[in-house]
């Protein structure tokens, strides 16, 4: 293996990668590097036939399989000059991994166009009413948990399993109301006055996300999310239905206000972790929660799809697509300009 660290290899190829992406690629690549004999020697990445067999035996979802091959492409780029050269483009292992990525991307695109979701997502799609009914069934348990000891009573005062159940319930209810991405995992709780000071005194762009606690309407302020470079910072009022629940969670979990106080501290990875992120922990936590609750591994992406489906019925959406094609305009323009009467 190269004398460079994995993160250095990744950044050598993709210098603009975010820390969370670097960690995700490291986690995948370590699966190969840590295998006995490195899949056949020091230059393990060249042993693409064995790697293909290894990945195939894992029986991964197509999107996950694609991510594995993307990580391998990046590794080949990084150990062969990265952004400073293009010689890696002609290497047989790189061509093999790229062809795999291209094939899987085409399959993914085709499935999305034909069915609106991947096979795995379709298998885990559940009517919104079923999810809400299952969550409603948890209310007696949540009330019992809330009425017990809280975290302010000291270490060990709260059953960790009960705390996780409460946290998952809060997260699920957030996604039932707000089609946000996984940045919710990193929300920090802060008061309005401290937030104003933070904004005023900032000498560089803020890259954190906050729940701004107000007496009237608390606000979620997102400065770092998947498309923040395109859309900038976004402030979203917390829906009225969620305010009592969020306040109850803050009190129960004894979450104090401050620039480094997370709303969901249990989702934060251990310091120095190279194989975990708060976002990944959120996904896995919710998937396990819903698997136990209704037998489906429902991710935040699926929850967002379910939320959007509840806003627009399929027949209206199909009609809008057809009208958009006739007009020769995008679906977004059709919805915002023509259908909205603006």
Q: Pick from 1, 3, 7, 4: which is nearest to 274 by CA?
A: 7
The closest of 285, 291, 244 to 124, measured between CA atoms, is: 291
Read off the pLDDT of each residue in 18-36 and give the average, rounded to a whole number: 82
Query: In the prediction, which pLDDT does 302 show?
Result: 86
The domain segmentation of the chain, as residue ranges, is: 6-116, 120-311, 314-342
With bands split at pLDDT 50, 70 and 90, how would you rate the model's confidence at 335? low
Q: Which residue has the higher pLDDT, 154 or 304?
A: 304
Distance, CA of 220 to CA of 117 (rounded, Å): 28
b/e code 256-292 from CB counts within 10 Å (16+ = b): ebeeebbbbeebeeeeeeeebbbbbbbbebbbebbee
Right CATH for 120-311 from 1.10.3210, 1.50.10, 1.10.443, 1.10.287? 1.10.443
Cβ(186)–Cβ(208) below 8 Å: yes
Q: CA torsion sign, 86 to 24 to 106 to 103?
A: positive
Q: What is the pLDDT of residues 162-194, one digit of tens each?
A: 889 999 999 999 999 988 888 899 999 999 999
Q: Which of 145-159, 169-183, 261-275 has the lowest mean pLDDT?
A: 145-159
Predicted local confidence at residue 338, as pLDDT: 54
Which stretch of DSSP H or E encloses residue 327?
helix 314-327
CA distance 232 to 223: 7
- Per-residue confidence at 1, pLDDT binned at 50, 70, 90? very low
Output the average pLDDT for the chain: 82
- Residue 263 — very low, low, confident or very high, per pLDDT cuts 50/70/90? very high
pLDDT at 40: 45
- The region of weakest confidence among 11-25, 101-115, 227-241, 274-288 is 101-115
Q: What is the C-alpha to C-alpha distance for residues 289 and 297, in angstroms, rounded to an integer? A: 8
Alpha-carbon distance 177 to 335, whole Å? Answer: 21
Residue with tokens 């993307």, as numbered in its chain: 70
Most confident of 166-175, 195-204, 224-233, 270-279: 166-175
Give the number of other Cβ atoms within 10 Å of residue 171's Cβ.
22
When pLDDT is averaged across residues 296-319 and rounded to a whole number, the result is 80
**Cβ(284)–Cβ(184) below 8 Å:** no
**pTM across the whole model:** 0.66
Beta-bridge mates of residue 189: 211
């Amino acid at each position: 293996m190269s004398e460079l660290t994995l993160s250095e290899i990744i950044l050598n190829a993709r210098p603009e990668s975010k820390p969370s992406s670097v960690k995700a690629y490291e986690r995948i690549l370590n699966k190969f590097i840590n295998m006995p004999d490195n899949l056949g020697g020091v230059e393990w990445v060249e042993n693409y036939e064995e790697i293909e067999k290894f990945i195939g035996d894992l029986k991964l979802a197509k999107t996950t399989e694609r991510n594995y091959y993307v990580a391998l492409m990046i590794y080949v780029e990084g150990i062969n000059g990265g952004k400073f050269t293009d010689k890696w483009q002609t290497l047989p292992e790189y061509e093999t991994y790229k062809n795999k990525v291209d094939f899987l991307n085409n399959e993914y695109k085709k499935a999305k166009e034909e069915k609106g979701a991947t096979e795995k997502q379709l298998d885990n799609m559940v009517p919104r009413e079923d999810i809400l009914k299952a969550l409603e069934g948890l209310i007696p348990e949540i009330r019992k948990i809330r009425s017990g000891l809280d975290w302010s009573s000291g270490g060990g005062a709260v059953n960790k399993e009960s705390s996780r159940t409460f946290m998952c319930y809060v997260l699920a209810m957030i996604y039932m109301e707000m089609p946000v991405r996984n940045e919710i995992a990193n929300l920090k709780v802060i008061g309005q006055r401290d937030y104003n000071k933070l904004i005023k005194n900032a000498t560089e762009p803020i890259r954190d996300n906050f729940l701004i606690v107000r007496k009237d309407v608390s606000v979620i302020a997102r400065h770092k999310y998947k498309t923040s470079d395109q859309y900038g910072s976004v402030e979203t009022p917390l829906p009225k239905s969620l305010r009592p629940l969020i306040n109850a969670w803050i009190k129960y979990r004894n979450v104090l206000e401050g620039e480094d106080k997370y709303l969901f501290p249990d989702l934060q990875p251990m310091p120095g972790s190279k194989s975990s992120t708060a976002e990944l922990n959120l996904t896995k936590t919710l998937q396990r929660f819903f698997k136990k609750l209704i037998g489906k591994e429902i991710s935040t992406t699926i929850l967002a799809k379910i939320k959007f489906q509840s806003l627009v019925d399929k027949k209206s959406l199909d009609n809008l697509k057809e009208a958009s094609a006739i007009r020769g305009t995008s679906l977004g323009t059709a919805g915002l300009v023509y259908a909205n009467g603006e």
